[in-house]
Structures are given as C-alpha cells and as structure tokens.
Chain A
Amino acid sequence: MTTKKKGPTLSVHDLRTHFHTKAGVVKAVDDVSFDVKGGQVMGLVGESGSGKSVTGFSIVGLIDPPGRVVSGSIKFKGEELVGASEERLQKLRGNRIAMIFQDPMMTLNPVLRIDTQMTEAIKAHRDVDAQTAWEEARDALGQVGIPSPEERLKTYPHQLSGGMRQRVAIAIAFLNKPDLIIADEPTTALDVTIQSQIIHEAQTLCRKTGTALIWITHDLAVVAGLADHICVMYAGRIVEEGKADDIIDRPLHPYTIGLIGSVPSHNKRGQRLNQIPGMTPSLLNLPPGCAFRNRCKFDDGECLDEPGPTRPVRGRSVRCFHPQRMEVTS
C-alpha cells in the first residue's frame, strides 16, 4: 500500500479535551495518541463515558463549550488542526473529514428532504450545479445499497427505516470522497443483521476509496472482524492498543480482558457471563493512580501511582503495571 510512505492520514498526539463545568474539570480525553493510515480501519473501543466520542468530535473541532481541546496535536495529512480557524475546519468537515453518528433516527433533520440534506453537503464544498449535485446524491445512495434511489431522494427521513437512514448517513459521509471518516457507534442502534450489512458496506467502501476510518464502538465484537488496529479507551485514556488480532487473541490490560470476557460468544452455554465489577468512575474527580484500579483484581500498592506512560510490550502498548497474559478460547 502506497499510503504508508506518505505517512498517516491522521496523527493524534497527546490530545487532552477537558470540560470546565461548574462542578469541576471533566477530563474527558486525557493524553490520547494514535495514528490512522489511509485505507485502514482503526477501532476505538470503550464503555460509554470513556471519552471515545469526545475524541472523535475533537478531531473535527466540534467540541462545544464548556468543553475545549486543552493541549496536544491533531495532524491531518500533516496539517495541524488544534488551533486551526473555524473557517478552515468548516472547509475540512464533511469534505476531507466526514462523520457518521450513532442514532440514525436523530442525525437526519426531520423536516428536510433527503435530497436537500445530501445536495447541501455537496454544494457546501464544491461549486457544482443543482443537477450534478442531485445526480451525485443519487449515485451515492445506490452505492450504499439503497434500492430505487431516485424515489428515496424525495422522501423525508421518517419514511425510511433505521437501517436505511444510516445508509443515507453513510452515503452523505462518502459524498465528497473524504480522506478520513469518523464513525461514532454507527451500528449500535440497529438490528444485528442490518449491523453486519452496514459494517460490510462501510469496510468495502473504505478499502475501495483508500479512506481512513475510525470506528468508535463499545462493542469489541463489532470491531474484531472490521478493524486493522484497535485502541481501547478507559476513563479518557487509551489503556491498550495494537493490531486487532493481537488485542482480541492476547489481551494484556485487565480491562480489555474483562471486555472480551463479557462478550457472550466467548462463553460456553450455561456458563455465567463474565462481568467487570463496579462502575465507570466519575471523570469529575478521578482518584489518583490507575483509573481502573478500583475494579481490577490485580490492584496492588503500585497502582496508586499514576500509571506510567504507555510502554511497549511485544510491539504493542499497554498502560498497566501488571499486563496479563490470557489466551482467549473461542
């Protein structure tokens, strides 16, 4: 793949996004770094509140007050996005960097027709006439597997099923052939059968166009078959990252192990599902030391210290004093 020589499409380094609320500072994203290359799928996995969505919105500069990117660097094809002007970010959004949201019922504007919502995305970035824009929109719908796209263009969102709407959203994301797509839990709200179709379509499109894809999800099983690379987030930090197969087959961080153990397919019939005890800590006052230590069975005195900077173990990195070896039987 030639993209490797050009360097990563997106390079996030030491990103910190904090929310300054009345109750205190919420460190939603704290010291997060990762790279995504063209044509690759990066899975960003974590529980709700782990900061994975905020990471996604930080990249496109859609963090609203009281939130703010406090420090760090987001390089998109070599261009620094942290501190970039709103005009510049607006030019990139939907054009070079597109997003797909979680709930297809909510992402499309209920009072605007599909064609309006598609062509406006084209016209916002390219100087094309209405007819061309409309044709492009129609072709894009066809590409994501929507039957009779001409008719669908004339409908309102509520006339389409959830799966259809998500396909429309994906079509919108691909309209301007972006270099990077950030998909924020795009299949969570859908039926399992639709889910796999959508994942398959998104994957195919990315491979074909060489688009880099960040797939944000709480479901490790979803990214297992989709991603090349996985980052596991916990309490605003990446606790483990590496090649997808490595992470799934040989997880190192106790949290990742817990996540994999709680996927039903890994359990024998009649066996109790494994669960991670306890709750996600409040990001408002994280206790000092490892954020996971209250739920971790390997916690000892050492974990009361701030977990050290990510150190490489066998070509991947993990943020833990006690990386575990666990063979997952599937």
Chain B
Amino acid sequence: MTTVEQTELDLVEDEHERILAQTPFQRFKADFLESKIATVALVTLVAIVLVAIFAPLIAPQNPYDLAQVSVLDARLPPGTKSEFGYTFLLGTDGAGRDLFSAILYGLRISLSVGVMSGFIALVIGSAIGLIAAYAGGRVDSVIMRVVDIQLSFPAILIALMLLAVFGKGVDKIMIALVTVQWAYYARTVRGTALVERSKEYVEAGVCLGLSRNRILFRHILPNCLAPLIVVGTVQTAHAIALEATLSFLGVGLPQTEPSLGLLISNGFEYMLSGRYWISFFPGIALLLTIVSINLVGDQLRDVLNPRLER
C-alpha cells in the first residue's frame, strides 16, 4: 500500500515539475493548442496570411495587368479553361479577371488595411490610455468621457461620418478605422494600468526612486500586453469586416484598390442573374479570415486570462 501511494505521489510530483520546467511561452503554446478548433483556426490564419503575402507567386495571373486579362473571359463559371493554359478555378469576374487571383490580391489589401489600421490604433490608443491612467483626475475623466461617448455610437456610423466628410481613399479609410478603434485600446490599457498601478511592485518601484517613464514602460506596459493582444485580434477582425462593408457600400476603398469587399460589391450586380461565384468566393475568403481571427482571439483570451477557469 505504501509503495502504491508513493508512486502515485511521484507521478503527481513529476507532472508538477514538468509544468514548472516549461518556459512561459511553452506553457502558453501548450495551453493554446489544447483546443483543436483554435489550432485549426490558427493554421488557417497562417495559411491565409502566407497566401496573401506571396499572392504574386501563387496567383495564375496578375488580375490588374491588362495584358493578362481579356474582357472576353468575363463571367466564366468556375472550372473553365483559360486560353493561357490554366484553369479559372473559381471562375472569372465581370472584367474577365481570374477570380482566384483577384481574391489573393484582394486578401493582401484587406489584410494590410486591417492590420495596419489596427496597429496604429493600438499605438495611439495605448498611449492615450496610459496617459489617462497615469495622469488621473481631470485628464482621466475627460479622456474617458470621450471614450464613452465614442463607444456609444456604432463604429460603422462614425466611419460613415468621416468618409462622408473626407471622401474615398486608402488613407481616408485608414483614418476612419483608426478613429473607430483607438477607444477600445485606450479603455483596455487604462483599466489594466490602473490595476497594475495600485499593485505593490509599482509602489516599491516608486519608493526606489525609479523614473516615471521607467515605471510606465518597463513595469506597467508589459502587464497590459496580454489584454492588448486579445483586444488587438478581435479589433483587427472588426476592422477587416468594417473595411469590407464600407467598400461594399462604395464609400471605402476606390476601385484601384480592390479589396475583398469591393470584389463582393462588383459581383453583386451579377447575383440576380444567377452568377453567384463572383460574390460568393470573395465572401468565403473574407469569412474564413474573420472567423479564424475570431477563433484565435477567443482562445487567446481564454489562455491569457488566468482568472478564467477552464
């Protein structure tokens, strides 16, 4: 009996030591991969990003090189053979472009607009959130009031307002996307920073006479990282969806920057005549991107949030 008990105890010890021996990143990785669906989503997302980056190498044609596109090929159904030898896997659009190639190029635009605006909003929002948390008092309440008011309006409305004033364009839609996103980051960072600021290690740092900047950037900001990553993934998905929606409405990107939203919009007119593929496939690409980002974000939230019991 004693020996049985001993081995069981040893097993528990071993498990414990194994967990302790992992680096934080290894543990994070193990926790993340625990969910099958999140793993699939992550793989899909990585594949989408790679395909978007290497679009010129993968796509059978450059859909925006007029020499490679023929209007005579317009609106061919999926699977038709092209005169250049390759197959129009997903058919062609109204201008005769290979839809598969157009989607790959569209992904690049959608992703880069979404990620870049997300990143700029993250930097601006975090800075404002930190200022609010650190300055406190009047500054804090003014900033948070602005955040509250802005968040009480739907993102699409604010974006429409800005685009109505500014007009179309890549830079304009980036400004609109940053404007609708920064408040989320500011709120997140402020909340976390306030919690961290009241913790003992920060007080200890103050007592040690560390400079304000050092405390902010070396102590408080790293602790805001986990919630920022979570908010960042969700917001990026939102940004991509919002850009697609605005472009679909014809107030987002110009025709020279054909994102997925524009491809869907261009296919809309052919929908009623039954040529579903022109809108359908870009939509699937958009859907896969957004769903996989959201699933990865959900899992990140579960893994990075120690308070959440799983």
Binding site for B on A (CB under 8 A): 285, 287-288, 304
Contact = CB atoms under 8 A, between A and B. Distances in A.
Contacts of A304: 1-2
A304 B1 CA distance: 9
Nearest to B9: A287
A285 B8 CA distance: 10
Contacts of A288: 1, 5
A285 B4 CA distance: 13
Name the prevailing secondary structure of the A interface residues.
loop
Contacts of B1: 288, 304
Interface of B: 1-2, 5, 8
A285 B5 CA distance: 11
Contacts of B5: 287-288
A7 B80 CA distance: 89
B122 to A, nearest CB: 37
B36 to A, nearest CB: 17
B170 to A, nearest CB: 50
Contacts of A287: 5
Nearest to A287: B5
A205 B2 CA distance: 53
Nearest to B2: A304
A232 B96 CA distance: 84
A177 B243 CA distance: 66
6 contacts: A285-B8, A287-B5, A288-B1, A288-B5, A304-B1, A304-B2
Contacts of A285: 8
A193 B46 CA distance: 65
A288 B9 CA distance: 13
A288 B2 CA distance: 9
A288 B1 CA distance: 8
Task: Give the 6 A-B CB pairs with smallest separation, nearest first.
Answer: A288-B1, A287-B5, A288-B5, A304-B1, A304-B2, A285-B8
B16 to A, nearest CB: 14
A264 B197 CA distance: 39
A285 B1 CA distance: 15
B62 to A, nearest CB: 54
Nearest to A304: B1
